[in-house]
Amino acid sequence: MNTEVTRDQIMAWEDQHESGVYGKQPLVLVRGAGARIWDMDGTEYIDCVGGHGAAAMGHAHPAVVVAVQAQAERLFLAPNGFFNDMRAQLLAELVKVAPSGLDRVFLCNSGTEAVEAALKFARLGTGRTKIISTMRGFHGRTMGSVSTTWRKEYRQPFEPLIPDVGFVPFDRLERMEKAVDDATAAVIIEVIQGEGGVNPASAEFLHGTQALCHERGALLIVDEIQTGIGRTGKLFACEHFGLEPDLLTVAKSLAGGVPIGATLIGTRVGEIPGHVHGSTFGGNPLSCAAALATLQTMVADRLPERAATLGERLLDGFRSIDAPVIREVRGKGLMVGIELRERSGGYLAALAEQGVLALPAGSTVMRFLPPLVITEADIDTVIAKVGLVLA
Ligand SMILES: *Cc1c(COP(=O)(O)O)cnc(C)c1O
């Protein structure tokens, strides 16, 4: 940390020069370890924002730190027109642990890019353009992915968007049935909607949608950018249901906090011709080394199992809070939402005052995406502090 720069100066620079697209909380975060994060003035927080879910490994996980340090000293860049040892090992490892049938991968640098690639590959693979998404779905902010994102505040200012995108109510199979036809290139869904309010889908909806896609020649894109890599109690949320998507997107937690995105590609997509897509930084050795270390550690340390156990504890704890403002507690693993009968903003600010950071999902849901390495004691503290704030 540069001690020459004051806290006020930092906040002034960001307020003045940042684009303006983000609302900000008055904290200057400078250091993290595991599930703890520190403000510049030394105040400690339990971090249930967790980099919007990207910090599944916790902050400064030793395995990720060592992998990044070693790779930084060796090689940052190896363009995709060449082979690279780290990229090759990551691809092999990712395909090995992925839902069956996904045996090719396009590597990029963020979630929205992974969705863009999935949309493009779906158009290529089917020769169709129609995309069905879900109400309250969130798939990213670039022109293609934002076209499939529900909230109109995100979409409307940028119209015209990509054409032929329709939205159906989430978890309503009979509506999906009406929407998917033989002009549909793909259906894009989350297994548990994240930003849309931590809304889990039923097995019936997921399997029914998959069957509809097969029947009508459409591809199923499952967006696991938030649920992916351990968070819900399995490496992929698809595994809870035995889903076999044609395209699966991951990003956030895949590289232990280092930027990455990946689009996993199944056989129904068909051949992808050369030169139709690409990325300069996609598959760079630094991100690949971080992702390889993350996957290996997730499996060796059984972090998905840990997410399942601690997630139950968190859900049970929240459900035992007796507060009329709570409408519903829901989630899976360490992806948990508390839906309130009021707007969540004031409660989230009060919770931060109590030393726990959490994030909103929509206007009335408090969302908790802690690192999977969080301790039981910290889970219990989170439950107690939430109880204090909501009671
Ligand atoms: C965060 C998120 C995205 C977008 O990822 P970025 O890395 O922010 O572009 C897309 N889909 C889902 C489900 C997400 O949670």
**Alpha carbon of 57 to ligand 1 centroid (Å):** 18
Q: Is 138 in the pocket of ligand 1 (CB under 6 A)?
A: yes
CATH number at residue 82: 3.40.640.10
Q: Is 231 in the pocket of ligand 1 (CB under 6 A)?
A: no
DSSP state of 323: -
Do 248 and 333 belong together in one domain? no
Do 147 and 295 belong together in one domain? yes
**Alpha carbon of 74 to ligand 1 centroid (Å):** 30
Do 99 and 233 belong together in one domain? yes
Strand pairing partners for 319? none
Do 294 and 331 belong together in one domain? no
Q: Is the dihedral of CA 85, 91, 93, 96 positive or negative?
A: negative
Kindly state whether residue 37 falls inside one of the protein's structural domains.
no
Which atom from ligand 1 is nearest to the alpha carbon of 137? 13
Our mutation pick for probing the ligand 1 site, out of 21, 110, 112, counting the most ligand atoms within 8 A of Cβ, is 112
**Alpha carbon of 223 to ligand 1 centroid (Å):** 8
Kindly state whether residue 52 falls inside one of the protein's structural domains.
no
Kindly state whether residue 131 falls inside one of the protein's structural domains.
yes
Q: Is 222 in the pocket of ligand 1 (CB under 6 A)?
A: no
Kindly state whether residue 370 falls inside one of the protein's structural domains.
no
In this structure, the chain runs to a length of 391
**Alpha carbon of 322 to ligand 1 centroid (Å):** 33
Cα-based angle 48, 289, 334 (whole degrees, multiple of 5)? 20
Q: Is 225 in the pocket of ligand 1 (CB under 6 A)?
A: yes
Which atom from ligand 1 is nearest to the alpha carbon of 195? 15
Of 282, 300, 318, at which residue does a domain stop?
Answer: 300
Q: For atom 8 of ligand 1, which residue has the closest CA?
A: 111
Kindly state whether residue 333 falls inside one of the protein's structural domains.
yes
The string over 267-281, giving b where at least 16 C-beta atoms fall within 10 Å of a residue's C-beta and e elsewhere, is ebbeeeeeeebebeb
CA distance 256 to 230: 11
**CA-to-CA dists, residue 47 to 29, 67, 86, 320, 354, angstroms:** 11, 23, 30, 22, 12
Q: Is 223 in the pocket of ligand 1 (CB under 6 A)?
A: yes
**Alpha carbon of 52 to ligand 1 centroid (Å):** 9
For residue 361, what are the contacts with CB-CB under 8 A and spacing of at least 6? 194, 195, 196, 197, 198, 337, 367
Do 295 and 308 belong together in one domain? no
Do 152 and 192 belong together in one domain? yes
**Alpha carbon of 222 to ligand 1 centroid (Å):** 12
Kindly state whether residue 375 falls inside one of the protein's structural domains.
no
Do 202 and 314 belong together in one domain? no
Q: Is 110 in the pocket of ligand 1 (CB under 6 A)?
A: yes
For residue 204, what are the contacts with CB-CB under 8 A and spacing of at least 6? 173
Kindly state whether residue 327 falls inside one of the protein's structural domains.
yes
**Alpha carbon of 331 to ligand 1 centroid (Å):** 18
What would the DSSP string read from start to end of 261-276? EEEEEEGGG----TTS
The domain total for the chain is: 2
Q: Is 190 in the pocket of ligand 1 (CB under 6 A)?
A: yes
pLDDT of residue 288: 98
Kindly state whether residue 283 falls inside one of the protein's structural domains.
yes
Do 313 and 255 belong together in one domain? no
Backbone dihedral angles phi then psi of residue 359, each to the nearest 5 degrees:
-125, 160
CA distance 40 to 17: 20
Do 261 and 331 belong together in one domain? no
Do 316 and 241 belong together in one domain? no
**Alpha carbon of 225 to ligand 1 centroid (Å):** 6
Q: Is 140 in the pocket of ligand 1 (CB under 6 A)?
A: yes
Q: For atom 6 of ligand 1, which residue has the closest CA?
A: 111
Of 280, 300, 320, at which residue does a domain stop?
Answer: 300
Of 300, 324, 344, at which residue does a domain stop?
Answer: 300
pLDDT of residue 4: 85
**Alpha carbon of 73 to ligand 1 centroid (Å):** 30
CA distance 35 to 44: 10
Do 280 and 343 belong together in one domain? no
Which atom from ligand 1 is nearest to the alpha carbon of 140? 4
Which domain does 351 fall in, by range? 302-364+385-391
Q: Is 194 in the pocket of ligand 1 (CB under 6 A)?
A: yes
CATH number at residue 320: 3.90.1150.10
Q: For atom 7 of ligand 1, which residue has the closest CA?
A: 111
Q: Spell out, as residue ranges, where the chain has pLDDT lower than 70.
A: 1-3
Nearest CA to 50 among 390, 382, 389, 384? 382
Do 232 and 115 belong together in one domain? yes
**Alpha carbon of 245 to ligand 1 centroid (Å):** 18
Q: Tokens 């869904």 correspond to what residue?
A: 189
